[in-house]
Structure 1
């Protein structure tokens, strides 16, 4: 079946779905409405949408077909007239499967019946005691003697593994994408042919070692001194600054959302929490690539995006700071947010063309602006990242294992109000240069001293040359 291009709008009483279905027979249209779920089939097209509020039955729906334009328009009456159906432009959210009922985090106890446990009939108690087995009698005798037996909680067993491969990607759902990596020109892959079999702890260790190897203090000092072009990048006005959540997706973005996978993500609170943290690293990479190219992607843009994202280059997602598990996915501490951005800062200072701490700080400010724009702007940035990666013959793999799922998850499963709150927390962070792990302050001081020394030396040379020249007549 083919998913048609479609759009949704609403009036006071109805939701209107417009589909592009050229060369079909209008008499073959089959419409079904089940509470919030709407589906329509007209060979060879099929569309199923899940709306936020209930609709009236399919007998109240109406459809019209314009053979000249190929558009089929379906009007679905609202169960409650005047009710506002939000996010009708988030196509991936409408296409997502109906979410399952939430499983309670703690088991509940339902009392089916109760009775008074007090017994006055000693004979009944004695009769039951006579029916005890030998083992039950020994247990009862031990209880009467108040024996204190040692009680220890056994150590949890490691998860049973039936394959040497370790999963990776969004919610560790993917495997097999790097089995033939040795034959692909994947320059950002830091795990080599071991990408499929390396455990998460070893991936992080390998990433940190590689960052240390790629760190070049002379390169950093040169960019710090000769920063004319970096100053231009810092002054560039990003178009996302001040963007509100009320913009509309382009036709190309809508077409991309229609091609996204239709998945349902069942996550525990800690997984949801970690997904938000990893999302910050993706947005930072996007902000760096966008600012350094001034939103005009180059052939190196896919390499930049993949190199700056730890979850791509080393399959190492957040969290990057050891913290106890939390039950509230919306609670983010300053420590873990700082650790997340430090991981991105290290990448930005060790790999790309422009290596500047000030530039990294400016990219974090761009992330603040993106999050302040809300769910739609975050999704638009992810779609931009996906567009760059999809057009690369090697790095498209990171779009498959990370970005595709992130687009669907952001549209259908994230909390809209959480993004502005997260934006404010990130704006208030104070990331010191010492947190990166390299002696940035010392390097900058040494670079300034060398610049001043060379300047003084040049002045002295000019004075000596003037003294050697003959006096004017």
Structure 2
């Protein structure tokens, strides 16, 4: 709470208490009188006085408020709506010296305000983004604003409104009151257009409450005033369009957030700076973040300025009403909006028309906003194209039917060729030894390396006499890899011995391949044996195929399969 400055005077009939409460809400005063106790509250001010005598309430007490200096002369009856702690501690207010005020930074309409937030900063943190405005110069405000906007920009939100823009397109078709007023216009002069703008009784009552005063602004101070007016109108036009003329609880927040004049006390130097600032804030803060809404708001503002001072005043009165109903945004009325409502009535129409032409001649692009929008959109478009390609590939079959038919016919031709070749070999007297599928052997003996040796020599003659093919598994010593071919030849010789032939003839013959398999004699060693197989194919004579690492071989535990 802030203790306001006050004075006490007395005449023969009344005790007059003058309290200075600048930037307070006039509609929310609370006064409590009980004997010699006087208490006053108007957010964010509180005053408690204990008088030397009792105060008489006989119905003649009155209260007045001076809007120019924010002073109140009052002693009305108490009309509290809720309980309030009147015993709060208070510190007497001390007016700052003129030298201290000169050292502080200015803000508000025409930079005519100074020292306001020195005492109200804690109460008004919710309505402005700038902290310590009394000690922050204009260049630092701009730099801080740009940094905050960069952190607030959300690429996902922007891309969502860009590609899913059904609601955006609906808002772009809305026609506000200033566009409808232009439809029947035949004259382009500002004076004739001002006549078509009408004010309601409520707006006329607002105008009567304003104090008629003049503003002495030099050329240096006048330029930021005109540029800030464009900033206010841009924020207001955006708000009217996205709400379709129906204000809501977020209207005050939208206007003050989109206007850097209201939220950062920005001092613009050109129209381009105004448009860039507005565009960046549209893409960072409100619900609908689309660059088309930025360009549409600029067009709406051009129409309002071309319509004339009456249309501008009507927009400012609507902003004033929105802020007056919102706590604590009403403070912005005292800093900016109310002064604009009084000042615009005395501005020359020619200057307003020139301001409209300047705004219409100024354009901005997405690249001017400094948010890398074009790169972001290009990357998002590439991602969409890749997703479409993936979806298309998932919908199509993995292999065309024509390709499957071609492969089938090719496989059939290959099979016929193999069978024909096999028949020719049979006719010439070369018996082909059929071996069991190596994959079945590997499944049964997964841990054993496989070496198979198949011979196409005299054993085929023996096989023709006895059985179609003989498959013998035996354990043979396997030496170093350098003598592998010698071992194969030795294995072939052993296989040709009568003993091996008799053992092979005694072995049972399978039904499918007419192969017989003889298991080796059990080894006296208790450990599990690791075996390898040698396969000699009839068509690949004396060739060795080794499967498995040679370092795991054991000399006494190798099995050789000889066809």
Question: What TM-score comes out, normalization by structure 2 length?
Answer: 0.49
- Residue 441 of structure 1: aligned partner: 374
Query: C-alpha distance in 2, partners of 1:272/1:381?
Result: 20
Preserved CA contact (<8 Å) 1:225 1:448: no
Preserved CA contact (<8 Å) 2:268 2:274: yes
1:316 to partner: Cα distance:
1.3
Preserved CA contact (<8 Å) 1:225 1:447: no
- Structure 1 unaligned segments of length 5 or more: list them: 1-95, 97-159, 320-335, 468-473
Q: Secondary structure at the match of 1:353?
A: coil
Preserved CA contact (<8 Å) 2:366 2:374: yes
Shift in alpha-carbon separation, 1:185–1:172, aligned structure 2, 3 A: closer
Preserved CA contact (<8 Å) 2:111 2:221: no
- Residue 113 of structure 1: aligned partner: none
Structure whose alpha-carbon radius of gyration is higher? 2
- Residue 296 of structure 2: aligned partner: 362
Alignment of 1:14-413 (within 5 A): 161-163=99-101, 165-179=104-118, 181=120, 183-184=122-123, 186-192=125-131, 194-241=132-179, 242-243=181-182, 244-246=193-195, 247-319=197-269, 336-412=270-346
Preserved CA contact (<8 Å) 1:220 1:355: yes
- Matched length: 292
Shift in alpha-carbon separation, 1:260–1:460, aligned structure 2, 3 A: farther
Query: C-alpha distance in 2, partners of 1:448/1:398?
Result: 42
- Residue 132 of structure 1: aligned partner: none
Query: C-alpha distance in 2, partners of 1:353/1:464?
Result: 43
Preserved CA contact (<8 Å) 2:126 2:328: no
Q: Give the counterpart of 2:364 among 423, 431, 451.
A: 431
Query: C-alpha distance in 2, partners of 1:396/1:404?
Result: 10
1:161 to partner: Cα distance:
4.6
1:434 to partner: Cα distance:
1.2
Query: C-alpha distance in 2, partners of 1:188/1:456?
Result: 49
Query: C-alpha distance in 2, partners of 1:387/1:410?
Result: 17
Preserved CA contact (<8 Å) 2:110 2:222: no
1:275 to partner: Cα distance:
1.1
1:182 to partner: Cα distance:
5.3
Query: C-alpha distance in 2, partners of 1:463/1:405?
Result: 68
1:294 to partner: Cα distance:
0.7
Query: C-alpha distance in 2, partners of 1:185/1:459?
Result: 56
RMSD of aligned residue pairs (Cα, Å): 2.5
- Structure 2 unaligned segments of length 5 or more: list them: 1-67, 69-97, 183-192, 401-563
1:263 to partner: Cα distance:
2.4
Preserved CA contact (<8 Å) 1:306 1:313: yes
Preserved CA contact (<8 Å) 2:110 2:224: no
Query: C-alpha distance in 2, partners of 1:313/1:466?
Result: 62
After superposition, give the CA deviation of every residue in 1:217-247 in whole Å (9 maximum; x if it has no partner).
Answer: 2221221111111111111122212443212
Preserved CA contact (<8 Å) 1:234 1:359: yes
Q: Give the counterpart of 1:457 among 368, 372, 390.
A: 390
Preserved CA contact (<8 Å) 1:371 1:419: yes
- Residue 21 of structure 1: aligned partner: none
1:447 to partner: Cα distance:
2.0
Preserved CA contact (<8 Å) 1:189 1:313: yes
